[in-house]
Structure 1
Amino acid sequence: MKLKFLCIACLALFAANVKSQTQDSAFVFSYFKGNGEDGLHLAYSEDGLEWTALKNDQSFLAPQLSPDKLMRDPCIIRGGDGKFHMVWTVSWTQKGIGYAHSDDLIHWSEQTYIPVMEHEEQARNTWAPEITYDPQNNLYLIYWATTIAGAFPETQINADNGYNHRMYYTTTSNFKTFTETHLLYDPGFNSIDATILPYKDKWMMVLKDETREPAEKNLKLAFADELEGPYGEASKPITGDYWAEGPTVSFENGVWSIYFDKYVDKKFGMIQSTDLKNWKDVSDKLSMPKGIRHGTVLKISKKELAKLKAVKP
């Protein structure tokens, strides 16, 4: 009987802690504007729907890497060390990506160039890098899309400047040393903009089908037992009759929310699901800063948000 009461008390305490954490948290969204020339932008939200730009929509970090000095597709996660780790696209044509870390999203480390595809003579680009942290193995998976000229001829066409992407990856535990680059996922079509997160005892990938002829340009899902794969067959499209890219995902109160860039329509979209099979478009409920391009959503504490709000342009 005492054990039963103890278990009930533990459950009550757990529920109270979860409620407390929910009340003491907010969302932040990293993004870029234009071509990414001025760097990292941040917005915040209390409910995940109404978003307000921070620092009067001025940049928090100016890009320093590559001849192009761009900071496109900024992906930020909170790592196992409690720090914020960010990767981004530094150029349209470089064979590496940018990296920096921060304790508060305000003050950033020196920017580092990670030459993830420099070994590949025929690599044309390294676009839209992302990071996923595996706490069980204390490992970070960094992955991105690259076109290697001559690879995957079965899906090669001339449209879209002849790009024919697949997803590649490296791993690290410290962002100083990295494993050899490998192919992460070949779904059998031109693919880009993947993001990976845990789902039950598996890993879920959301990615863009970049096929141009006949046009797909939509988001799909794929699953794997291990973070490094292999990932199974891609699902049917989960987005609608519009071109979508740059997905980022949150999971709150049993609801999956996928934010994405409706880049042809020059606005943002959002779909939601409780089972990853039936999706509802709630884009009409979403309010984002003007001119926002895609990035990532993550949760921070109210205390961290207060410090961000205090930053002046």
Structure 2
Amino acid sequence: MFTSFHEPANEGLRLLYSYDAYHWTDLNKTFLKPEVGTQKVLRDPSIVQGPDGTFHLVWTCSWKGDKGFGYASSKDLINWSAQKFLPVMESEPKTVNVWAPEIFYDNEKKEYVIIWASTIPFRFAKGIEEEENNHRMYSITTKDFETFSKPKLFFDPGFSVIDAVIVKRANKDYVLVLKDNTRPNRNLKVAFAKDALGPYENVSETFSPKLTEGPTVVKVKNDWLIYFDAYGQKIYSAYKTADFKTFKDVTAEVSIPEGHKHGTIIKVKRRVIENLLK
């Protein structure tokens, strides 16, 4: 499954499905209409399935102004819980934005990790970007979506960073795929850690073209596929890697429905897809 949305992001959650992770089909309907946040949009939907089978979804609900993001859960991706607004940055009143929350289940610690990008003007070294575009990654953890840890700075690579996603290769072996949001780069890099919460180090050189964002990663046999929005080329791209050191462009081998935007890929039981197709 591949979570999705269409611009201008006010219609709600879309879902794509695939049996090989290369060729994707749009279910061609919306499954959750956004109700929370100042702008009530649903952008950058990120999903994970917990050990009890429940799907947990988080999303960007405003471009600017909100101090949090949207959350809902479902057993079948059809019937959803009441939506919640999680005000994760309310303790930082100067926060400009809360963008692209990504949810990850840490099976070593039996908890959910949510990371996102926020800008707090004049908090970090300015670099090239304007103060209101100088993002860093933050995180919270939860076991039950009722109580949450206090938000913490998750990743500060010394430049504006957004759209980071955690990938687990093995116990004590994690990769962070991220967007360097500084001009003129605006492209994708990776970093490495021994814990899901970091610290992530050894930030790589870029592996993608300029003007790319919104990565998501899925393992297919012995390789990892990294999908991302190559918005500079107005296409959705995919790269393949076995080690997150060398990357091969496989965009010509994948098919993505037109209009698809930044989402997350997860593996589900075939019966989940069959139920959605009824």
- Name the TM-score class by shorter chain: over 0.9
- If you compute each CA radius of gyration, which structure gives the higher value, 1 or 2? 1
State the Cα distance separating 1:182 from its structure 2 match. Answer: 0.6
Q: Which amino acid aligns with 1:178?
A: F
CA RMSD, Structure 1 to Structure 2 (Å): 1.2
- CA–CA distance in structure 2, aligned partners of residues 190 and 233 of structure 1: 16
Q: Which amino acid aligns with 2:62?
A: S
Aligned to 1:19: none
Aligned to 1:46: 19
Q: Which amino acid aligns with 1:273?
A: T
Aligned length: 276
- CA–CA distance in structure 2, aligned partners of residues 129 and 282 of structure 1: 26
CA deviations 1:240-294 (Å, max 9, x no partner) are 3x31100000012110100001122222000001122111001111111111111
Aligned to 2:199: 230
State the Cα distance separating 1:217 from its structure 2 match. Answer: 1.0
- CA–CA distance in structure 2, aligned partners of residues 67 and 166 of structure 1: 22
Aligned to 2:6: 33
Match of 2:221 among 226, 248, 253: 253
**Corresponding position: 1:203 with 2:203:** no
Q: What SS does the corresponding residue of 2:268 show, helix, strand or coil? A: strand
What TM-score, normalized by structure 2, do the two folds share?
0.96
Q: Which amino acid aligns with 2:157?
A: P
- CA–CA distance in structure 1, aligned partners of residues 127 and 117 of structure 2: 15
Farther-moved stretch of structure 1 (180-189 vs 264-273): 264-273
Q: Which amino acid aligns with 2:123?
A: A
State the Cα distance separating 1:227 from its structure 2 match. Answer: 1.4
State the Cα distance separating 1:35 from its structure 2 match. Answer: 2.4
Q: What SS does the corresponding residue of 1:211 show, helix, strand or coil? A: coil
Aligned to 1:114: 86
- CA–CA distance in structure 1, aligned partners of residues 138 and 274 of structure 2: 37
Unaligned runs of 5+ in 1: 1-27
State the Cα distance separating 1:303 from its structure 2 match. Answer: 1.1
State the Cα distance separating 1:156 from its structure 2 match. Answer: 5.2
Aligned to 1:186: 156
Aligned to 2:261: 293
- CA–CA distance in structure 1, aligned partners of residues 89 and 35 of structure 2: 19
The correspondence of residues 1-313 of structure 1 with structure 2, limited to 5 A, is: 28-54=1-27, 57-93=28-64, 94-155=66-127, 157-158=129-130, 162-200=132-170, 201-212=172-183, 215-240=184-209, 242-310=210-278
CA deviations 1:49-85 (Å, max 9, x no partner) are 111110xx22111000023110000001111222111
- CA–CA distance in structure 1, aligned partners of residues 26 and 144 of structure 2: 31
- CA–CA distance in structure 1, aligned partners of residues 154 and 261 of structure 2: 25
Task: List 4+ stretches of structure 1 deviating above 4 A.
Answer: none
State the Cα distance separating 1:144 from its structure 2 match. Answer: 0.1
What TM-score, normalized by structure 1, do the two folds share?
0.86
Q: What SS does the corresponding residue of 2:3 show, helix, strand or coil? A: strand
